[in-house]
Chain A
Amino acid sequence: MTLPLSTGPHILGKRTTRGIMLDVLIALTPAAAAGVYLFGVRAAWVLGVAVASAVATEALWQRLSHRPLQVGDLSAVVTGLLLGLNLPSSAPLWLAAVGSAFAIVVVKQLFGGIGHNFLNPALAARAVLLTSWPARMTTFFLPERTLLPVASTAMVGDAVTSATPLVKSGTAMIDLFWGNIPGTIGEVCKAAILIGFIYLLVRNVIGPHIPVLFVGTVALMTWLLGGDPLTAILSGGVLLGAVFMATDYVTNPMLIVSQCLFAALCGVIVVVIRQSAGGYPEGVTYAILLMNVLTPLLDKLFKRRAYGEVKQRA
């Protein structure tokens, strides 16, 4: 008998990275389903192509660079789906494919693969698409159907385009909440995003602090500047970004305190962009990306006291 020798622990926890990614996918399902219901089959095609492109690109990259195939960890699926949810349903399918490929190769793999990217891949890709094809990225179809209950202001119609997803002030709160408004596939239905948020909390994938502080800061800042806080948090991509993108483990800081600061600053930047750019819709994307860049700094600045540390010096 010769048995393996190893340092403990000899039994590891059940949670895996793949399991966490699966939980995120489950949490994104309501938002994706609502998007497809509201915007029709086209939205499903956009999401599908984004996911397929992300997975295929990652597999191809790992193959060509002779690295172990790691698509099984599902992180590419998450990236693809997140990017898809951040596209308008009007987006051409090639745009979704190009965006995902960019996210995987340039933002993720060139920096060393899973865990090593410093920008959120989906958001970075979205920002690049916005710069390269601004018109295609900001043409929004109105929902084909509505989710109940509907207020009289609900904007429904087929294939009518709208230049800006920030809705006119008269839109009823209830339509903002259910997603009876134009916007990207995943951001419009706040109800679905909240269901995903609750799922992530229950499964202990994330804590509440980042989304709550992010959204809270947006509301507070808007209110201080004389705007309507509820409209501010229910329009645009604030909720989707706060729940699913600012909480991305890889690109936010490690300590709870620095995560709180990260979230609050995200909120501040969103409001600043919205104010200064006169309702510029993509504030959320840039706010989170900017904070991604500052994350290494936050990690350096905030140190916690190790057990027994202070007394040693005394």
Chain B
Amino acid sequence: MKKLSFRGGIHPLAKRHEGKAETSGKPIRDFVAECVCIPMDMHMGPPCKPCVQQGEHVKLGQVIGEAVGRFGIPAHASVSGVVTAVGPVQQLRAQPSLCVTIRNDFKDELAALEALGDVESAPKHRIIPAIQAAGICGMGGAGFPTHAKLRLPEGKAVDTIILNGAECETFLTCDHRLMLESPGRIVDGLRAVMRAMGVARGVIAIEDNKPDAIESMRRAAQGRDGVEVAVLKTKYPQGGEKQLVTAVTGREVPGGGLPMDARAVVINVGTAAAIADTVIEGKPLISRVTTVTGAVKDPSNLRLRVGTAFADAIKSAGGYREAPGKIFAGGSMTGTCAPDDSVSATKGTNGIVTLTEREADAAREIQCIRCGRCVMICPARIMPYRLMELYERGELNTAKQEHVKDCIQCGSCSYVCPSKRRLLPSIKSAIEQLARRRNR
């Protein structure tokens, strides 16, 4: 069987099964916290406007933050209970986020949206608005509002919907478990999107280190119109949007462009399942599967209500095995560091990983020895060592000419560098400075 892939890439934590062995066999378990703190800026774009007050009683699924603007999506109560606070709380972003805190009464009184019914018969034109109303955004991490991705600008056409089941990031097994436990829902979500966009081909792309998931999705895809499963080579960052488009369609996303510029749309498998839940049951996005692992006693895949504190999730995973030296949301390649464990899991939190102090100890950085490793593996095929040099010398214009903006921020270069150069942070700063310069 042909295995699809891209050029470049690495095998992070190869000797530790990418950090996945501890959780890949663990079935998804529900966890409901006593209290949730829901940020209004869980998605990319304008944050929601809170529409509930302190002391107010809310139902499960009730809108607590209204969508702002055409790209905005609402936030919903992920538990029923009483609003105890509306105000800024330090989350994963640099500045505190406006949050709505709800104490759970564990009644789970439901305020569902209107269901559209079976994905094959639901009215096509109502699917994308329903996705927006359900507050669905990309669940692979970035949190781009899904309806905005599906609503193509004038003149753009797409011929392939790709479901991203690669899960190439280290430590994460939430998508893997979802593909084993709810394959039907994932295919339903894909079909809903295909129908809404009028696209005939849907590809579920999975890395070959998950043969059980491939098997499970194949079975679920049987007899469904235009749905196929593609097997990818296990390699990081195989699940990067651009890499996935290239692996599946053979086309490249033009520099500075989006997958739709290569006539494809990429959606995470978790997002697809959430879309199916909305279309079939009218369920807004109020929970998601998160892999809680690392230096915890009982690494787990938990279905967490949106807004669950990291501390509660970690407690449910047996608590700390050792005092944490670092905690991040996501995998170890691109995860975002948490300042402490009080922050909330959001719609995009696919993993909560803790490292021991020893593991978190930063290695000393020395000079580049021009070994070429970063150059060899960069999936964007730019020159990481050189861009870092240019950034350090302040030569941002040259860096721009040398395609610094095409960096997909996968971190592979930093990972392989024997001199432990902080390549990605420098490249990221260069990109940010260029963006700021343009805005000025």
Contacts and interface: CB of A to CB of B under 8 A. Distances in A.
Interface of A: 1-13, 15-17, 19-20, 70, 73, 75, 112-116, 249-251, 254-256, 304-309, 311-312
A222 B415 CA distance: 43
B435 interface: no
Given A1-B341, A12-B414, A308-B255, A17 B369 contact: yes
A3 B338 contact: yes
Given A3-B325, A73-B366, A306-B403, A9 B253 contact: no
A121 to B, nearest CB: 13
Most B C-beta atoms less than 10 A away, residue of A9, A112, A115: A9
17 contacts: A4-B325, A6-B326, A9-B334, A9-B414, A13-B415, A113-B367, A115-B368, A249-B372, A250-B369, A254-B370, A254-B383, A256-B376, A307-B242, A307-B252, A307-B379, A308-B253, A311-B252
Contacts of A4: 325-326, 337, 360, 362
A297 B337 CA distance: 41
B242 A308 contact: yes
B387 to A, nearest CB: 11
B372 A254 contact: yes
Contacts of A16: 363, 418-420
B318 interface: no
A11 B383 contact: no
Interface in B354-372: 355, 359-360, 362-363, 366-372
A9 B332 contact: yes
A33 B409 CA distance: 46
Contacts of A75: 369
User: Helix, strand, loop or mixed for chain A's interface?
Assistant: loop
B255 A116 contact: no
Nearest to B252: A308
B69 interface: no
B360 to A, nearest CB: 7
B362 A6 contact: yes
Most A C-beta atoms less than 10 A away, residue of B324, B333, B341, B366: B366
B416 interface: yes
A152 B329 CA distance: 71
A281 B363 CA distance: 44
Contacts of A254: 370, 372, 375, 383, 385-386
B369 A8 contact: no
B201 interface: no
Chain B, interface residues (CB within 8 Å), range: 35 or more
B311 to A, nearest CB: 9
B324 A312 contact: no
Contact of B339 (A2, A8, A17): A2
A312 to B, nearest CB: 4
Interface in B246-270: 246, 252-257
A198 B369 CA distance: 22
A11 B256 contact: no
Given A250-B369, A307-B381, A13 B12 contact: yes
Contact of A307 (B338, B380, B422): B380
B400 interface: no
Interface in B315-336: 324-328, 330, 332-336
Contact of A19 (B10, B255, B418): B418
B62 interface: no
Q: Which 3 A-B pairs have the closest CB atoms?
A: A9-B411, A115-B367, A312-B255
B254 A312 contact: yes
B13 interface: yes
B193 interface: no
A254 B375 CA distance: 7
B110 interface: no
A312 B332 contact: no
Contacts of B368: 115
A248 to B, nearest CB: 9
B113 interface: no
B228 to A, nearest CB: 25
B170 interface: yes
B388 interface: no
Given A17-B418, A306-B380, A8 B424 contact: yes
A244 B13 CA distance: 29
A200 B129 CA distance: 59
Contact of B332 (A3, A10, A305): A10
B333 A9 contact: yes
A114 B421 CA distance: 14
A306 B406 contact: yes
Contact of A12 (B338, B367, B415): B415
Contacts of B338: 3
A5 B254 contact: no
B148 interface: no
Given A6-B337, A12-B420, A306 B371 contact: no
Contact of B369 (A3, A13, A249): A249
Given A249-B372, A254-B383, A10 B254 contact: no
Contacts of B362: 4, 6
A114 B367 contact: yes
